[in-house]
């Protein structure tokens, strides 16, 4: 079995009057994330981590923010395309661990709905997706409510039937 780990990081500015999409769901808040797509930072880090684990570059390479096709696109579509791409290379998702840093709004009450939504998009068990929330104790751009950031770590695997050999050929 070939096991790979990927890491993703993303940040989006928050602005008044923008819609706030996070984890595939729309949050009711007076600020939202700014971006070329729907600016769902949680989905973007998952895409980046999956692509990185499969050595397929990053989200910007596959879905450029200069491409009008992706202007305002629902990030769940990008996630679906990313998962299809890694699966076309023979990989499956082992698990995903995401941390979102956001001062306000509090997202803990929304995590079960986010997990349900994203697990369905990726066709994985909800138990294979961990979403955690934190604040920065009012420090930095997150603490000043100027932005949101997220980190993700993923494990993917490929079962190709071949024995994996160590450096000595065993």
Does residue 44 lie within any of the structural domains? yes
pLDDT over 70 (residue 6): yes
Does residue 141 lie within any of the structural domains? yes
11 annotated as ligand-binding: yes
Q: Which long-range contacts (CB under 8 A, 24 or more apart) does 53-57 make?
A: 53/4, 53/5, 53/6, 53/86, 53/91, 53/154, 53/155, 53/156, 54/4, 54/6, 54/85, 54/86, 54/89, 54/91, 54/156, 55/4, 56/85, 56/86, 56/89
141 annotated as ligand-binding: yes
88 annotated as ligand-binding: no
State residue 19's pLDDT score: 95
149 annotated as ligand-binding: no
More confident residue, 28 or 67: 28
What pLDDT, in 10s, does the model give residues 87-109?
999 999 999 999 999 999 999 99
Does residue 170 lie within any of the structural domains? no
Does residue 139 lie within any of the structural domains? yes
Does residue 123 lie within any of the structural domains? yes
User: What average pLDDT does the segment 45-64 reach?
Assistant: 93
């Amino acid at each position: 079995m070939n096991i790979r780990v990927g890491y993703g990081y993303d940040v989006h500015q928050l602005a008044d009057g923008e819609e706030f999409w996070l984890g595939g769901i729309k949050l009711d808040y007076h600020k939202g994330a700014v971006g070329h797509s729907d600016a769902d930072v949680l989905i973007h880090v998952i895409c980046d981590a999956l692509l990185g684990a499969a050595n397929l570059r990053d989200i910007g390479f596959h879905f450029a923010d200069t491409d009008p096709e992706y202007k305002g696109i629902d990030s769940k579509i990008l996630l679906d395309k990313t998962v299809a791409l890694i699966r076309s290379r023979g990989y499956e998702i082992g698990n995903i661990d995401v941390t979102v840093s956001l001062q306000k709004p509090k997202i803990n009450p929304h995590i079960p709905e986010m997990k349900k939504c994203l697990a369905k998009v990726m066709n994985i068990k909800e138990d294979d997706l961990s979403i955690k929330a934190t604040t920065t104790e009012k420090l930095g751009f997150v603490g000043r409510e100027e932005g949101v950031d997220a980190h993700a770590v993923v494990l993917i695997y490929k079962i190709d039937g071949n024995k994996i050999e160590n450096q000595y050929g065993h």
